[in-house]
A = this chain, B = another copy of it.
Amino acid sequence: MKPYSGQGEQSAVQLQDMFRVSMPLPGQLEQHFQAALCHVLQNPGSLVRPRMVLQVAATYALEETAANHLAIALEYFHTASLIFDDLPCMDNATHRRGAPCTHVAFGETTAILTALALINRAYALTWKALAACPQQRQSLGMEYLERRLGVEGLLNGQSLDLHYSALPHTRATTERIAMGKTVSLIRLTLVLPALLAGAPLREVQLLERISTCWGLSYQMVDDLKDVLQSADETGKTAARDVLLDRPNVAAAIGVEGAVERLTRLMRVGDTTLRRLLARNPGLEFLGRLRQDLQGELSRVTANAAELSASAMA
């Protein structure tokens, strides 16, 4: 077995191919089910998660096939979660990845079966990735996956999200939701390949912390955008999230408080990143991720400052 040597530099086309072919479809499928599966497999998202998995895998020399299996497995879990999120009983969305949502194009039933097919395949691919690793890491990896996806992770986050209107609208609540919904998948993306490759415990812990800081920050930037954009468009702070009573930290504690918290999270993230790179310079791709986040962040904080200046004027 050779360690992964591609430095995570798969082209977008290669990743899209892997996304498409890692779910083999038998000849005799029910036709709506078949069409929905093709629809999903032919409309991948940005594939930022599998790219990150491969970069961590390259740094820690995780075996190549295991790295590929894990990268696609996590993207299938993510895609399945989006199909469920978009259902009428959840977010009732109509479009996703530039195409109609699966339930819009093929009906709810077929959308659910399609998401379950992705989940079934994702566990099988994860199992293949685990099987290539030493036994002790296998149990660690499986437990980590179960915790992040299950009742302590993604699923509880989604449940809190959907019952937000009945919960206290505080930073604690919005962060609990973001921990479940957003941070869980980022943790799987950055930490699981490191765990499976046998990365030093201290580095795994730092990757955990970075995932938390950046996951929460990412969600906060989204929340701020929602509030600031609507302020910009309508001249009032009646954000879409507020209208729909959706979790939004900027709506819960105000723009200023949210920007303050975001700044602090980014500062902790930066300290963590410096420590991590001092231990393992091979993780420098994380610095580029940090820069991307900074771009978004600067725009948002500039908008927030403008808003606050015009409010005072």
A: residues with CB less than 8 A from B are 23, 25-26, 28-33, 37, 84, 87, 89-90, 107-110, 112-113, 116-117, 119-121, 123-124, 127-128, 130-131, 135, 138-139, 142-143, 145-146, 149-152, 155-156, 158-160, 162-163
Contacts and interface: CB of A to CB of B under 8 A. Distances in A.
A101 to B, nearest CB: 14
A25 B155 CA distance: 12
Contact of A160 (B30, B130, B149, B151): B30
A110 B89 CA distance: 10
Contacts of A107: 89
A26 B117 contact: no
Contacts of A30: 156, 159-160, 163
Contacts of A123: 123, 146
A141 to B, nearest CB: 10
Q: Label chain A's interface by main secondary structure.
A: helix
A112 B91 CA distance: 13
B121 A156 contact: no
A112 B89 contact: yes
Given A33-B151, A33-B156, A120-B146, A109 B138 contact: no
Contacts of A90: 109, 112
